[in-house]
Amino acid sequence: MNPMKIAVAGASGRMGRMLIEAIHNADDAILAGALDIAQAPSIGTDAGAFLGAAQGVLIESDLASGLAGAEYLIDFTRPEGTLKHLEYCAAHGIKMIIGTTGFDEAGKAAIAAAAKKTAIMCAPNMSIGVNVTLKLLEMAAKSFAEGYDIEIIEAHHRHKVDAPSGTALKMGEVIADALGRNLDECAVYAREGITGPRDPSSIGFATIRGGDIVGDHTVLFAGIGERIEISHKSSSRVTYAHGSLRAARFLADKPNGLYDMQDVLGLR
C-alpha cells in the first residue's frame, strides 16, 4: 500500500511541528509538503530541521509549490488562512483535515461547498478522547434534561485567540441538540453585576486563558443534592496529531463529502 502523501499548514508552529513529527513516525504516511506565511523565518528551510531528521521538504508560502506532491492537507491555522487553502485544495482535489476553529457562518458555508469537490474532515478537536466525551455528553444530557443546570468550563494557553474554544462550543451544540434547544438562543457567555436568577434553560460558558495549558474541558450538570462532572484534559498536542492521521486514513477512499470525528470513530 502506498503511503499517504500529507502536507502540513502552519508547519513552523507548535501544532505544525507535532504533525510533522507524527507523520515522520507513521509507517503509512510521508510528508509531501509544508506551508507557512511568507513572513515566517523558517521559509525555505527543511520542514524536519527541528527534529534533526531532514524530510527533503522545504517550508513554502506558495500554495502551488507547497502542495505540488500532496494528496492531503492537515490545517490547524487561522480561519482566513484555512479558507485560502480550502479554495486551492477544492480546485485541485486535495483532501483536507481541518482542525482550525473560529469560523463564522460564511466560513462554515465555504467548507460545506468545497466538500462537494473534495473530501474534508472538519472538527474543532481531533482528540479521540474528546470525541468519545462528546458522545458521553449527548447521552448524559438526555438523562439530565430536567432539574440540572449545565455549565461548560474550558481552559487553554495564553496564546489562544478565540473564546470560547471550538471544543467548548461543540460540547454546547451537542448538549443543546440532545435537549432540543438552539445553542444560539440559550448560551450565556458572560456574567457580571446583578444578573438575576439563573435561567434553567441556559447553557453557561466560562473561559480561562493562561500559561501553557494545552486544553481542559469540563461540563457540569448541577442538580439539587448532586452534581455530575464530565471532563477531558489534554496534556500534549500529540493526541490531535494522531487523530488527524486517523482522519486521513478515513478519507482515503472518499472522493468528496464533509465529515467530522464522529464519522471517523464510528460514533454516529
Residues carrying an active site annotation: 156, 160
Which of 143, 206, 208 minimizes the C-alpha distance to 175?
Answer: 143
Rg of the chain in Å (alpha carbons): 20
Residues near 253 by beta carbon (within 8 Å), at least 6 away in sequence: none
Cell of 85: 487553502
- What's the residue count for the chain? 268
Give the contacts of 150 (CB within 8 A, at least 6 positions apart).
141, 144, 175, 202, 203, 204, 219, 220, 221, 222
Cell 438526555 belongs to 142
